[in-house]
Amino acid sequence: MISRLLFLALFFSSGLQAALREESVSYQAGGTTFKGYLAWDDAKGAKQPGVLVVHEWWGLNDYAKQRAKMLAELGYTALAVDMYGDGKSSEHAAEASAFMASVVERAGVSEQRFAAAEAFLKRQPSVDPSKIAAIGYCFGGATVLNMARQGGDLAAVVSFHGNLATKTPAQPGKVKARILVLNGAADEFVSADSIAAFEAEMARAGADYRFVNYPGVRHGFSNPDADRLGKANNLPIAYDSEADRQSWAAMQDLFRKVFGK
């Protein structure tokens, strides 16, 4: 009996582990090769909603990939997007800033790279191309918000400690996605004026949005590496486990409403 139970335990454990798939992938945009990370769960069935995960200014690192894996465990096919090309990442602020500037300071580059990643995700056999969302962290949060502002065909976007300022505010009736912004109230990179401007912009645009401000929480609150990276780079960022938990739950609640799961 014991050996039979052990066999069954090993069998089902192996089956569950095998259901979660992870794959390094590449795709092209503007003559540049991008190296993303795709995660999905075969046991959840075909034609799952797809979620794009846009990294912090550090680049496509293990943190962004872990978030994609967590989404796969929830039943989504997730693509951790490479916005810098060749899967570049850094733990040095100056280098990360240069990477980010190479994208945001050139007109149309961010949009082109996001669109290429979205098209790649929609082509995956496990994805329902009519059900796409995007989440982003820091630089990535600003990126997904801007895609929503421009009328991207996204069901929902979620920004975790992302910049709210924009040079291209949403126009009335333009925003299709439901928007969730998760912000640390003590984030030194997001001013009270930028929050007020964002909320006024969303109201004028008629967007379906929700803004959550976590009291006493600083920039980078969702990333367990924030304390280490902040200390190494002299940046006012810090992890907050409770804000991390609450923000991830808020994202899941929005996705349940949008996708019915």
What are the pLDDT digits (tens) for 204-242?
999 999 999 999 999 999 999 999 999 999 999 999 999
Q: Is there a domain that residue 115 lies in?
A: yes
Q: Is there a domain that residue 234 lies in?
A: yes
Q: Is there a domain that residue 173 lies in?
A: yes
In terms of residue numbers, what domain contains 97?
32-259
What is the predicted pLDDT for the residue at 6? 41
Asked whether residue 19 carries a pLDDT value surpassing 90, the answer given is no
Q: Is there a domain that residue 143 lies in?
A: yes
Helix (H) or strand (E) holding 94: helix 93-104
pLDDT band at 18; cut points 50, 70, 90: low
Q: What is the mean pLDDT of residues 162-169?
A: 95
Residue 194's CATH number: 3.40.50.1820
What is the predicted pLDDT for the residue at 2? 40
Asked whether residue 3 carries a pLDDT value surpassing 60, the answer given is no
What is the predicted pLDDT for the residue at 4? 46
Q: Which pLDDT tens digit goes with each residue over 56-96?
A: 999 999 999 999 999 999 999 999 999 999 999 999 999 99
Q: Is there a domain that residue 11 lies in?
A: no
Q: Which long-range contacts (CB under 8 A, 24 or more apart) does 245-253 make?
A: 246/214, 247/160, 247/182, 247/212, 247/214, 247/221, 247/222, 248/70, 248/222, 250/158, 250/180, 250/182, 250/212, 251/135, 251/158, 251/180, 251/182, 252/74
Q: What is the mean pLDDT of residues 174-197?
A: 97
Question: Count of domains in the chain?
Answer: 1
Q: Is there a domain that residue 13 lies in?
A: no
Let me know how many helices (H) and strands (E) the chain has, helices first. 8, 8
Q: Is there a domain that residue 151 lies in?
A: yes
Q: Is there a domain that residue 242 lies in?
A: yes
What is the predicted pLDDT for the residue at 44? 77
